[in-house]
Homo-oligomer: A and B are copies of this chain.
Amino acid sequence: MARTLGSVGEKTFEAIRAAGTRLIWRHGFEAMSLRRLAAEVGVQPGSLYNHFETKQALLFDIVRSHMETLTTRLDEALVGHVAPRDRLIAFAAFHSSYHMTRRMQVYVANSELRSLDPENRAAVVDLRRAYERRLEEILRAGRDAGLFRVDDLKITTFALISMMTGICEWYRPEGRLSEAELVRLHVDMVLRAVGA
């Protein structure tokens, strides 16, 4: 090995992923030109291919790594919370907070599922399902314990996630309300929505 791992190339790759996420977020995956991406990173278009094999592979890398981080962070946020109500609060606080601070990745992961190859899409959908199942299990536990009013598990799961994910479509860091206030507002609405 003539090169130290994690040196020049890794930094370039990170820059590509960051700029790629931003450009996809702003223009959509199909509308993002690799020429533009290369320009933002400061390399020639062809040099991008030292770091990914195809534009599609870059999208998959961005989306998959986001979904994996999302699930990992969620599990960390749920640690130590046992009671369904506590777990629901932890979930809602984590989800709404995470979607404020990483709204570009979140938006890309949600809106560009359609641009993924069938195979890649299937992999990402699996990760999404695993994430949603965390909420579903919390809702089930709360309902079975008579604490939550949940008429339909699947629908409620989707509805709560949609409600909070919507944040990333309008949130601006410099906005009227602080992140903490927004989190609190959403946690409260989630709790009320399931009658907790």
Residues of chain A touching chain B, judged by Cβ–Cβ distance below 8 Å, are: 26-31, 111, 114-115, 149, 151-152, 154-156, 158-167, 169-170, 176-177, 182, 185-186, 188-189, 192-195
A115 interface neighbour in B28, B149, B164, B176, Cβ under 8 Å: B28
Q: How far is the CA of A131 from the CA of B55 in the complex (A)?
A: 38
- A188's nearest neighbour on chain B, judged by CB, is B151
Most buried by B among A152, A159, A170: A159
Look across to chain B and name the residue whose beta carbon is closest to the beta carbon of A165: B162
Count identical subunits in the complex: 4
- The minimal Cβ–Cβ distance linking A133 to chain B, given in whole angstroms, is 15
In the bound complex, residues from chain B placing their C-beta under 8 Å from that of A158 are 166-167, 170
What are 9 A-B interface contacts by the 8 Å CB criterion?
A28-B30, A152-B177, A155-B177, A159-B185, A162-B162, A162-B163, A162-B167, A163-B163, A193-B193
**Smallest Cβ-Cβ distance to A196: which chain B residue:** B192
CB distance from A35 to the nearest CB of B (A): 11
Chain B nearest CB: distance from A21 CB in Å?
15
B185 touches A189 (CB 8 A): no
Q: Which residues of B contact A30 (CB under 8 A)?
A: 27-28, 30-31
* Max count, chain B CB within 10 A of own CB: residue among A154, A185, A189: A189
A185 adjacent to B152 (CB under 8 Å): yes
Q: Tell me, in angstroms, the Cα distance from A30 to B29 when the chains sit together.
A: 9
A129: shortest Cβ distance to chain B, in Å? 11
Q: How far is the CA of A158 from the CA of B171 in the complex (A)?
A: 11
Assembly CA distance A170 to B166 (angstroms): 15
